[in-house]
Structure 1
């Protein structure tokens, strides 16, 4: 009888929800950002907020520099319960088609526009994420993206002809650069520096924070300020894991997802100024691209999204209508 009671007690302990051991609950947040990156600062700020609220009920631990995997691996590990949070950006367009709208060139004008999109259309993106087993508990950013390469300055789309350009793993970014005449190559962020250094690729496109923190300025000759895409980043958790967390822990984590956004946006704006100078100081030649030429060349990608993604035309129209001055 004593053995049976012990077995039953052990089984009950295993079956109990996470609340039973909340005092020593550890939540792991994996991301791909290097030291000094916006991602690192954002995730650390979120963890500081969360741990301040959670006290001894739970602890958020952060793991950057792709320690726990690249973006695609982290998405899988969320589902497997091996990681609790990740911070995907462009890769979300491969999770659910609705996120591809943020791959449309120049569709997001600025951070105030993004706040309006989040306020008005947040439910659309939450439903899309939950349809794939995920939940968004905060909107951060990966910023406005620009092109670096070792071939030539990029002033118009024609200058990209034949350039081997690394892109994230998202179908629309690949299609966009194919449209511009480049030779896009999807690749994990952690592999990009070596690929640039060994001339496997000619260039890449990222926000200044990612360029500088990954030291791409050490292996690139040209930076062309295009601002062609603004990429939100999503504080993401697997819905199955989320529902197993205690309700009070969920409330605190959601609060920090919202509260940390102000820091992220302010810090991102500050880094844009500081890090552009860091890149210049490294000897990289900087030019302002002809945005009008890129916008004109982008019409086919908008048309394809509008006609191939269910509700795509309405989503584009809704986002554009929320821009200041619309």
Structure 2
């Protein structure tokens, strides 16, 4: 089965019937899959990856083993993406910004202040817009099994509280390599410094950057509070996280296993997002207990006025305004 734009939906639909079966057997014998991600073992990505491993083994009657490598053990974000494309790694998950050089329309998901709330995010990621964006992986060697999340991004730094856009001016902030993230912080007067997530803690600890921007769950799990004093709940972007596999390997799988893998990945996405929602509130409390000074109500409207329209205009100049209009319409 050719996994292209035309039959993407039929491939995922076929998967929905598989989980009802007690086991899915492969005549070819046992299959070992390797999965990597850059987040710590305490993160929801690891919890969900282990759940996927248990589910695949159970539903395949022991025919499928999923080995999970967290914390960038087998490479940083770009390295793992390239490994999956080459077929030396089977599955990986990381933030959407690391895929945008391959599937450029995905840049739309990282535009600042694009999403109003989690319901808005879900309508986009799980609806027709999300289906369209995932088919953008065609020709890259990757197939998006599902979309997990990193969550709402907030700013931390080691120098001063950030309440207004003026407070961020001059700070050297680690960003993802996504053009929208880089442009937004440049417009705010910061010095955006892209780097892989696996390199970030050392950069903060050594003072190579003043700050970074990530969800509270990841700030806690990665112990960034040990090198950062100030947290500002800017909620300036929401980061989705495609879970991808090697497209050719998936195409070569039998129909039963392919459907099982897709269904497990999609159910895993629901579980992972639910875990993240639960942990957002508790992680903020834990960061306060760890000594971080938290600005809970920064001037988000002012931040948005600095960056939102101009970054969206930049995207629309290259890709048109249709996707932005559709996403705004889903609010």
TM-score, length-scaled by structure 2: 0.88
In 2, Cα distance between equivalents of 1:111 and 1:29: 27
2:15 equivalent in structure 1: none
On the 8 A contact 2:112/2:180 being kept in 1, the answer is no
Q: Deviations over 1:94-139 (max 9, x none)?
A: 2211110111112122332222112121231122112322111111
Unpaired runs of 5+ in structure 1? 1-18
In the alignment, what sits opposite 1:42? 48
1:160 aligned onto 2:168 = yes
Deviation digits for residues 49-100 of structure 1, max 9, x if unmatched?
Answer: 2222222221111100001111100111001111101102121222211110
CA distance in 1, matches of 2:237, 2:251: 34
Q: What residue is the counterpart of 2:5 in the other structure?
A: none
Find the counterpart in structure 1 of residue 262 from structure 2.
254
The superposition leaves residues 179-227 of structure 1 with CA deviations (integer Å, 9 ceiling, x where unpaired) of: 1111011111111111111111100000112111110011111000011
Q: Extract structure 1 runs of 4+ deviating beyond 6 A.
A: none
Find the partner of 2:314 among 301, 304, 312: 304
| 1:87 partnered with 2:129 | no
**Counterpart position of 2:179:** 171
TM-score (norm 1): 0.89
- Could you say if the C-alpha distance between residues 283 and 26 of structure 1 is closer, same or farther in structure 2, counting changes exceeding 3 Å? same
Task: Could you tell me which runs of 5 or more consecutive residues in structure 2 were left unpaired when the two chains were aligned.
Answer: 1-24
Correspondences of 1:209-248 after superposition (within 5 Å): 209-248=217-256
Which one of 118, 125, 132 corresponds to residue 124 of structure 1?
A: 132
Number of matched residues? 303
Structure 1 stretch displaced more, 215-224 or 186-195: 186-195
Q: Which segment drifts farther, 168-177 or 67-76?
A: 168-177
**Structure of higher CA gyration radius:** 1
CA distance in 2, matches of 1:20, 1:255: 16
Q: Distance in 2 between matches of 1:109 and 1:47?
A: 34
| Deviation sequence 1:166-190 (CA, Å, 0-9, x none) | 1122222111111111101111111
Contact 1:22–1:58 at 8 Å: present in 2 too? no
Pairwise CA RMSD of aligned residues?
1.5
**Does structure 1 retain, via aligned residues, the 8 Å contact 2:85–2:246?**
yes
**One of 302, 305, 315 as aligned partner of 1:293:** 302
CA distance in 2, matches of 1:109, 1:22: 47
Q: For 1:151, what is the secondary structure of its paired residue?
A: coil
Aligned to 2:10: none
- How far did residue 21 of structure 1 move? 7.4
The 5 A counterparts of 1:4-153 are 22-89=28-95, 90-117=97-124, 118-153=126-161
